[in-house]
Amino acid sequence: MGTPSITTPSERRTNPMRDPQALARRIEVGRRLRELRGKRGRSQADVSRAAGITQASLSNYETGKRELPLSTALNLAAALDVSFGDLLQVPDIIVLRDSKLGIALRALSDSPELLESITKQAAPVGAAS
């Protein structure tokens, strides 16, 4: 499928609306949103209310007219009762939001020395270091 059409604030500043690949990704994610909503028999009004957005915004996401922010994508996945990976058709995504595991992973990513010390300790017996 390619890279999902989810953006961070810095990516939105580079004007992805002009990029034909970004448009194709937005349309694909929108098609997936509409498909999942339809399979569940849910209206745009119902899903948008559950996700905390307007019905017009959901319509724009479903048609690829607007870039889908990460926070909104997470809320839509929850409103549709699907995983974030299922929404994007990328099954190996794990989302850690403010959980203890997420905080621990952030600490590890901010401290390469700590990560290295942990991975050395976790090396299998007999493995060369």
Same domain assignment for residues 80 and 25: yes
Transcribe 45-91 into DSSP letters.
Answer: HHHHHHHTS-HHHHHHHHHTSS-EEHHHHHHHHHHTT--HHHHHT-T
Contact (CB, 8 A) for 32 and 80: no
> In which domain, by residue range, is 41 found?
6-88
3-47: per-residue pLDDT in tens?
Answer: 455 655 555 555 555 678 888 889 999 999 999 999 999 999 999
Residue 128 domain-assigned?
Answer: no
Amino acid at 52: G
pTM, rounded to two decimals: 0.60
- Tens of pLDDT, residue by residue over 50-105, are 999 999 999 999 999 999 998 899 899 999 998 888 888 876 666 665 567 667 77
How many domains does one find in the chain? 2
